[in-house]
Amino acid sequence: MTGPLVAILSGAGISTESGIPDYRGPSGLWRRDPEAEKQVTYEYYMADPEIRRRSWQARREIWSLHAEPNAAHRAIADLDRSGVPVRVITQNVDGLHQQAGMPERKVLELHGTARSVVCTACGARTPLQDAFSRIEAGEPDPPCRDCGGILKTATVMFGEELDPAVLGQAAAIARACQVLVAVGTSLQVYPAAGLVALAADGGARLVIVNAEPTPYDDIADEVIREPIGTSLPLLLARL
């Protein structure tokens, strides 16, 4: 069975039911706490070892939540497995779409991933768990093993550019899709808002699943306010 290309644009709201708070959004935890925001702001992170130490500790606390995919993540992966072509464009860095069964190549992570670590000097990528092991063994700000450079999670920090290749692919999907489901995102910030506009201009059916109103509700074909974990599986079953 095949069907129309379905693009899922997901934001923090899809993962809050997995116990992950909204850190990055306009009213997210990082924006409300200037000290915490420094830990995810490139300029401060690179300049201050103490901020890096605290940033790693905060990452470990998030990781210790042991978040699991919820019914919404699973419903998206199930739709893909059923033969409907699905692409996920996500603002989240938690990797829960892939953990739910979406193939890596079908998930575009606009803000990178917290599951990998990258060297800011040589670009070497290593698993997050390696960094955590080194921190536990007494290196609170572990340097790159290859070149001694500063390590960070492979997330796009405040003050960093989004990956133009990822952005380009996301735009192409937005233009090509027949259905775009925006789920758990306020659609107030670039690039999410622009992707919705691209899809609408291309004639895609637009469905918005979000607890709060968004600037695109007026042009949406359908707006759903019910909790994502229950409403998204029902919606996707109709596709």
Taking the complex as a whole, how short is the minimal distance between the CB of residue 142 and Zn ion, in angstroms? 11
Residue type, position 90, single letter: T
In sequence order, the β-bridge partners of residue 143 are 150
Q: Which of 119, 179, 224, 235 binds Zn ion (CB under 5 A)?
A: 119
Number of residues that bind Zn ion (CB under 5 A): 8
- 180: part of which helix (H) or strand (E)? strand 179-183
- Alpha-carbon distance of 32 to 26, in angstroms, equals 9
Q: Is 125 in the site for Zn ion (CB under 5 A)?
A: no
The correct pick among 84, 121, 197, 223 for binding Zn ion (CB under 5 A) is 121
Question: Does the footprint of Zn ion cover residue 145 (CB under 5 A)?
Answer: no
- Min dist CB 49 to Zn ion, Å, is 16
Cβ atoms 121, 144 nearer than 8 A: yes
* Interface stretch with Zn ion, choices 115-123, 154-162, 179-187, 225-233 (CB under 5 A): 115-123
Of 117 and 179, which has the nearer Cβ to Zn ion?
A: 117
Q: 140, 149, 229, 233: which one contacts Zn ion (CB under 5 A)?
A: 149
Helix (H, G, I), strand (E, B) or coil at 37: helix
Task: Indicate the residue among 103 and 148 with the shorter CB distance to Zn ion.
Answer: 148
Burial of 209-221, coded b for 16+ CB within 10 Å and e otherwise, reads bbeeebebeeebe
Cβ 153 to Zn ion shortest distance, Å = 15
Element (H, E) at 207: strand 205-209
Amino acid at 231: S
Task: Examine residue 122 and tell whether it contacts Zn ion (CB under 5 A).
Answer: yes
